[in-house]
Chain A
């Protein structure tokens, strides 16, 4: 009996004392410190993350966290251009530490010339990073969809599976994507061509929103997306990661695995293997199946790295293979069909759910080989050499007669080679980089399609020379850069599909940038950046020719005006002048970042309606690439507020105004104003496991500056001069999303499980930036269950 009472008492006290003890536990400790460079100088601007909370080191390199509960917390400190610092800190009282960040140059990461070192140039530009943790919320989604999270970044969609990033209103060949340090060379010219990258390889994705043309050349006129893989020096110990996810809407399954380790015989060598597979079927709107919107994907990559203090080398290979269905009802053979589709408000082809992908569909294979090396040269700096070879195959299949559906309607092979050499140096307070790079691209149409190619074969040779320097003094940080480029372009095409011609182009162009960052006080920073960059028109803009089934329109390139080949001297380079002003405020429980920009682009290349053509399939509108003067100006911001110890608010917004100055008209494909609000409840960090629940509401406004509406049947008789759209801009919308997750330790390892629901109200809506909005609604509710198991053996 006594024993029983003791047991009951013990149980009782166990249940009551546990919560009591945690409440009684004083969460009053502070953790503060200073981040320094190797030289002892403070490092303002370094990001310090303690148990998921982040702050930025002030002008003196100091940071502070308050109201911490006793326990062991994960600390990480990072700063572009420096090696990440990671440690577990046991906080039982107020703790003060000094963290010295070593230059990236001592790590192999440095070798990724364009990946990490080069990012040093983005210091005064407006940029935003998606961390590994943030990326986990998007695992299984495409790169373009994950990037929509960044304020000012939206996506140009072709259905629910094809997302093309748009930065401050610019996309395609005006944006550069760096994939593990290598500029991605795919078929980015097409509006329905998504980046050929598996987001599972990324440990961080950074978006630089201003022009980074100085560092990367003309493709970066609108911004850069940097997809970084985990540094190889982390792969010394055996470990890995498994991800699995299931998605309800399109019954998609996603699986990815990563293994890494070192070799017994040598501490200098490490390896990593990674693979992901994805299979999804048709998506569904609240009312019907989006027939033929499945996606199948198989990707893998491997890396082998050798690293010593003064030199290192790395070989990296990746393979991206995907097959994506395009909504069956979006294939239009004539303006009548197109008009019916738009007016019906519902796709004309709806079948039961299937995993099968039929025409129209895309099949893309992208192979990348990267070989890089670095060597430290005493008294000079670090020399980096990088070679990248890429082979991109894009096949597009259409609905055709007589068994030709199995034959690609378009088949392009793009083979590209990149060689980059740069020298990073520090000289009398100046740190910077000088470098040269060369690219060679060969694009060929694979014979046998039975359809005239939309873009011709071409060979392109680029050479660039750049210098970037930065200088830091007191509360000021300044950087400046200059670049010179030459491009040789040889186009191999046919006049009237008969006479082979090989016109050649030579473009010389320069880019320059100047940026300043001023630390007003311990918690506020102002940045100002101006970049001038030039871009010669892409081959697709020069020589496109043919009927686009997706848009039911005929397109002609800049070189073909009114049916005649025009003079090369009339082709002008695009010149962008972009001013970006940023303000950053970081307080204990509140942070705010706002950036405004004004981008003036002269000779902006765009598609202008120029008439109609009666073909054997009926009338089609004709669009011709032309050049004009454009202005894009806007403001983006994000805010973070810890309302209480358990509840935090995060908000983002973006607004963009775009105008064709010459024609006094609007521009096409400009994202409408958007914002997102998110409230998160998370359990205080002292517990062994972490729980969170997030409720978020993305809001999109109606695009009020959309081009005028000309329905397809009216397009045949349209005689106006303004750009037009085949349907009015859809109304704005508010969605409701929810996500809950738990992270559990499993011995040394960790397991996290999250359940997310998107569009919980099952709202029917359309997205202005989705080209398939003419035909169908967006997907309805989608539940996603994700599991992640991490078995890295940390020391």
Chain B
């Protein structure tokens, strides 16, 4: 009995060393860079009038640093006085290849999302946001109506409100995107 135990004991010590050495020798392969799946790199608001050229409000994170630099914001033209535009928002993730249309993800979860607009300075009324299946506003499309000559900003905010959406802005939940565009109604003096 004693011999058996003795043998077992020595063997145990041996096993202990072998196990630890083999474990220490384990190595891992090089990791691959992570593709940010959810990040929004591009926001495009396309304002299409009944007649004439559309106006594009764009933010494109060219350096993919997730920081909003002023140089990355572009407004293609001034809005015209007393005109009605149909607005369509498009969100993209260009950090992955092929690029992902985030708007589709938002549309799929329409009941959990809402676009909120804040207009300061400029005479623009934003109405007629499209709705989700519960009849609450979603805002991927909307109607922008300009009145008189003015300048200011429009802030577009995407709120993520799983389970807590009431249609109010900003309401509960988290901000997924928030971007401010400078806008002019008419040609500023």
Closest residue on chain B to residue A332 by CB atoms: B174
The contact of A371 among B16, B108, B162, by CB within 8 Å, is B16
Contact with A along B11-33 (1 / 0, CB 8 A): 01101100110011011101111
- Let me know if B9 and A450 touch, CB within 8 A: no
- Let me know if B34 and A497 touch, CB within 8 A: yes
Q: Does B36 contact A (CB under 8 A)?
A: yes
**Interface window among A399-407, A640-648, A670-678:** A399-407
Q: Does A12 contact B (CB under 8 A)?
A: no
Q: Does A507 contact B (CB under 8 A)?
A: no
Q: Does A618 contact B (CB under 8 A)?
A: yes
Q: Does B172 contact A (CB under 8 A)?
A: yes
Closest residue on chain B to residue A347 by CB atoms: B172
- Let me know if B178 and A373 touch, CB within 8 A: no
Best-buried of B5, B15, B34, B160 by chain A (most CB within 10 Å): B34
Whether A337 touches B175, Cβ cut-off 8 Å, given contacts A404-B38, A417-B24, A447-B31, is yes
Q: Does B99 contact A (CB under 8 A)?
A: no
Q: Does A500 contact B (CB under 8 A)?
A: yes
- Let me know if B12 and A373 touch, CB within 8 A: yes
Task: Please report the C-alpha to C-alpha distance between residue A494 and residue B30 in the assembled complex, in whole angstroms.
Answer: 11
Closest residue on chain A to residue B42 by CB atoms: A616
Task: Please report the C-alpha to C-alpha distance between residue A430 and residue B124 in the assembled complex, in whole angstroms.
Answer: 87
Which chain A residues border B175 with CB–CB below 8 Å?
333-334, 336-337, 617-618
**Interface window among B45-53, B60-68, B82-90, B139-147:** B60-68
Q: Does A451 contact B (CB under 8 A)?
A: yes
Distance (whole angstroms) from the CB of B90 to the closest CB of chain A: 14
Closest residue on chain B to residue A341 by CB atoms: B172
Which chain A residues border B162 with CB–CB below 8 Å?
399, 405
Which chain A residues border B68 with CB–CB below 8 Å?
614-616
- Let me know if B28 and A373 touch, CB within 8 A: no
Task: Please report the C-alpha to C-alpha distance between residue A399 and residue B1 in the assembled complex, in whole angstroms.
Answer: 61
**Interface window among A65-73, A438-446, A600-608, A724-732:** A438-446
- Let me know if B174 and A334 touch, CB within 8 A: yes
Q: Does A457 contact B (CB under 8 A)?
A: yes
Distance (whole angstroms) from the CB of B8 to the closest CB of chain A: 8
- Let me know if B66 and A616 touch, CB within 8 A: yes
- Let me know if A401 and B176 touch, CB within 8 A: yes
- Let me know if A618 and B178 touch, CB within 8 A: yes
Which chain A residues border B32 with CB–CB below 8 Å?
447
- Let me know if B108 and A333 touch, CB within 8 A: no
Which chain B residues border A336 with CB–CB below 8 Å?
170, 175, 178
The contact of B24 among A440, A444, A497, by CB within 8 Å, is A440
Whether A449 touches B164, Cβ cut-off 8 Å, given contacts A334-B178, A457-B28, is no
- Let me know if A444 and B31 touch, CB within 8 A: yes
Which chain A residues border B172 with CB–CB below 8 Å?
348-349
Q: Does A387 contact B (CB under 8 A)?
A: yes
- Let me know if A337 and B66 touch, CB within 8 A: no
Which chain B residues border A497 with CB–CB below 8 Å?
33-34, 64
Which chain A residues border B174 with CB–CB below 8 Å?
331-334, 337, 399
Whether A401 touches B105, Cβ cut-off 8 Å, given contacts A615-B66, A615-B68, is yes
Q: Does A452 contact B (CB under 8 A)?
A: yes
Which chain B residues border A449 with CB–CB below 8 Å?
34
Which chain B residues border A459 with CB–CB below 8 Å?
27-28
- Could you tell me which residues of chain A, from 482 to 537, have a CB within 8 Å of some CB in chain B? 492, 494, 497-498, 500
Q: Does B132 contact A (CB under 8 A)?
A: no
- Could you tell me which residues of chain A, from 446 to 473, have a CB within 8 Å of some CB in chain B? 447, 449-453, 457, 459
Whether A306 touches B170, Cβ cut-off 8 Å, given contacts A401-B105, A401-B109, is no
- Could you tell me which residues of chain B, from 160 to 175, have a CB within 8 Å of some CB in chain A? 160, 162, 164, 170, 172-175
Which chain B residues border A618 with CB–CB below 8 Å?
175, 178
Distance (whole angstroms) from the CB of B107 to the closest CB of chain A: 10
Distance (whole angstroms) from the CB of B63 to the closest CB of chain A: 9
Q: Does B106 contact A (CB under 8 A)?
A: yes
Which chain A residues border B35 with CB–CB below 8 Å?
450
Task: Please report the C-alpha to C-alpha distance between residue A371 and residue B14 in the assembled complex, in whole angstroms.
Answer: 11
Q: Does A311 contact B (CB under 8 A)?
A: yes
Q: Does A559 contact B (CB under 8 A)?
A: no
Closest residue on chain B to residue A494 by CB atoms: B33
Whether A451 touches B31, Cβ cut-off 8 Å, given contacts A313-B9, A349-B164, A417-B23, is no
Best-buried of A387, A401, A498, A618 by chain B (most CB within 10 Å): A401
Q: Does B187 contact A (CB under 8 A)?
A: no
Q: Does A419 contact B (CB under 8 A)?
A: yes
Q: Does B119 contact A (CB under 8 A)?
A: no
Distance (whole angstroms) from the CB of A621 to the closest CB of chain B: 13
Closest residue on chain B to residue A418 by CB atoms: B20
Task: Please report the C-alpha to C-alpha distance between residue A457 and residue B28 in the assembled complex, in whole angstroms.
Answer: 10
Q: Does A143 contact B (CB under 8 A)?
A: no
Which chain A residues border B28 with CB–CB below 8 Å?
442, 444, 457, 459
Distance (whole angstroms) from the CB of B39 to the closest CB of chain A: 8
Q: Does A613 contact B (CB under 8 A)?
A: yes
Contact with B along A365-378 (1 / 0, CB 8 A): 00000010100000
Task: Please report the C-alpha to C-alpha distance between residue A306 and residue B9 in the assembled complex, in whole angstroms.
Answer: 9
The contact of B20 among A306, A415, A419, A445, by CB within 8 Å, is A419
Task: Please report the C-alpha to C-alpha distance between residue A399 and residue B30 in the assembled complex, in whole angstroms.
Answer: 29
Whether A450 touches B12, Cβ cut-off 8 Å, given contacts A401-B105, A442-B28, A615-B68, is no
Whether A306 touches B5, Cβ cut-off 8 Å, given contacts A371-B16, A387-B20, is yes
Q: Does A252 contact B (CB under 8 A)?
A: no
Best-buried of A336, A373, A616 by chain B (most CB within 10 Å): A616
Q: Does A432 contact B (CB under 8 A)?
A: no
- Let me know if A617 and B178 touch, CB within 8 A: yes
Best-buried of B15, B23, B179 by chain A (most CB within 10 Å): B23
Distance (whole angstroms) from the CB of B140 to the closest CB of chain A: 14
Which chain B residues border A613 with CB–CB below 8 Å?
67
What are 6 A-B contacts with C-beta separation under 8 Å? A306-B8, A333-B176, A336-B170, A417-B20, A497-B33, A616-B39
Given contacts A402-B105, A404-B38, A616-B43, 7 further A-B contacts (CB under 8 A): A336-B170, A371-B15, A373-B16, A389-B20, A447-B34, A449-B34, A498-B33
